[in-house]
Structure 1
Amino acid sequence: MKRTHRSWLFIVVCFLALQKTAAAQDANSVVAHRDLVYAEVPGEENETRTLQLDLFVPAMSEKPALVVWIHGGGWRNGSRGNPKLMEATENGYALASLSYRFSKEAIFPAQVHDCKAAIRWLRANAKQYGYDADWIAVAGSSAGGHLALLLGTSGDVAELEGEVGGNLEQSSRVQAVIDYFGPSDFVLRGKTQPERAYTDRSGSYALLGGKDGTVPEQMERLASPATYVSTDDPPLLIFHGTADKTVLLDQSERMVELYEALGLEVELIQHEGAGHGGKRFFARDSLQKAIVFLNDHRPD
């Protein structure tokens, strides 16, 4: 009898453990919507091509707030796959990861036109996919950080709005920005890092229509998030490595200077000895700081 009782007790314990595991999995499950077309743009040989995004919505969260991830790659390569802030979905956020045109297809401002089109599409389709798009945070690394900064600072700038994808009745403004080592001021970069600003060593050279070792200053100013900083800009969190030789730390310091001059909320987290990117920026303490930043600024 004792052996039978122990066997049943073991079965019950295992059953309860499985139920607890299943409940935890359900609580953390995410519904993935991949390859969603948010716009069509001109392609090769007068054909159109689609711009797409992937959307991840926590199954157990009721209308979660939305975080948009913009990948890096020098505006000339990269992928929306494996977004760096996927952990946001474990903290009650929906996450969208988008693709945009590279500089070989179209020079600036096509890239920010695409990103703003994605924001408008996400607002227009929030009800269908079950997230709350009244408040949107945007984050990106390197070239994606530059585009995230632009989304934050250039609200209602007509020249950067564009008409890609339609949904023009929707706002392209964002309410919080996380920038990972993105360029912010191309005029400054031309002074402190000309070996990159005016050569193919940096993707910004092609992005801004560079030729014969020069880039029109008008394009440098047009593409610089620093150009548009104003009193209605959203809170900003920046991560940057002190040993970054690809995008110098002065690019992030410039944003801090401009934000602080207007009394805007900004924080620069410097990783001592870190270069341009790496796991350190998206692990443990850094990830937690990003989540805290989102939690602090999302609406109740």
Structure 2
Amino acid sequence: MISRAGIQFMRLLARLPLPLVRGLGRALGIFLYWAVLPRRHVVQANLRTCFPQWSEAERTRVTREVFIHVAQAWLDRGWLWHGDPEVTRTRLVLTGALDELAGEEPTLVFAPHFVGMDAGWTAITQQVARRFVGIYTKQSNAILDAWILRGRHRFGQSRPFGREQGVRGLVSALRDGEVMYLLPDMNFGPEESIFVPFYGVQAATVPSLSRFAKLGRAKVVPVVTRLTPGGYEVRVLEAWPGFPTDDSAADTALMNERLQGWIDTMPAQYYWVHKRFKTRPPGERSIY
């Protein structure tokens, strides 16, 4: 549980040179790799399922890198949420099809769960002059909850939208020109999920990208964030033509297929610590 002392530590990290912060993150990641054995098994099971062609040595190497990148990204929240705004801006390199985020057209950002997902949100809310909305799950720890909300909504015109508030308000926000930042590529349980392939394995996936795009009459713009030695590269891709269709299952399968292509370019930066295949089709055994 994070405490007030923990938040002060993150504030202190914001003042340190980035190489030192990343070095601390590397040390923390290696410690967690050895100390948190159940989560290491989750990462290894995910990689074994998605990359069966890899050798055991390669899976071990990438598993260790996953823990390092997750820890580094966590400590980076110090400067993302507390650092000098100009320092934050220089470390967040926003590239690609930036015109896709301009104007007032209803826009749905597909932001996959790479370790830099918070950096991507910070970059676009700080550097793009539009209103943004993100779905938020309230934390049980009140101190942690308040800290996350302040940090994520530090810049620009952005606001959280609680899951318990329902769909109608989000659809209205999209239609009113707010940019919605959506991360739908995790296993959120069997409720409302459908099974579509992910690396050739049936994975429970919420078809929310297709549904929100359709209900909000919004274009879908992927934003892929890569952790780099100097901070993060936040790449805005072209809007997907012909998306959504009338087939939400096909749309969701396409989402996973395109996500795979991005993961293949930086597999150690995807959030494999999550039990992506926790929900299985009837009769299938757990991979964990």
Asked if Structure 1 and Structure 2 have the same fold, meaning a TM-score greater than 0.5 normalized by the shorter chain, the answer is no
Q: TM-score, normalised by structure 1?
A: 0.28
Structure with higher Rg: it is: 1
Relative CO higher for 1 or 2, CA cutoff 8 Å, sep ≥ 6?
2
TM-score computed with the length of structure 2 as normaliser: 0.28
- Structure having the higher helix fraction is 2
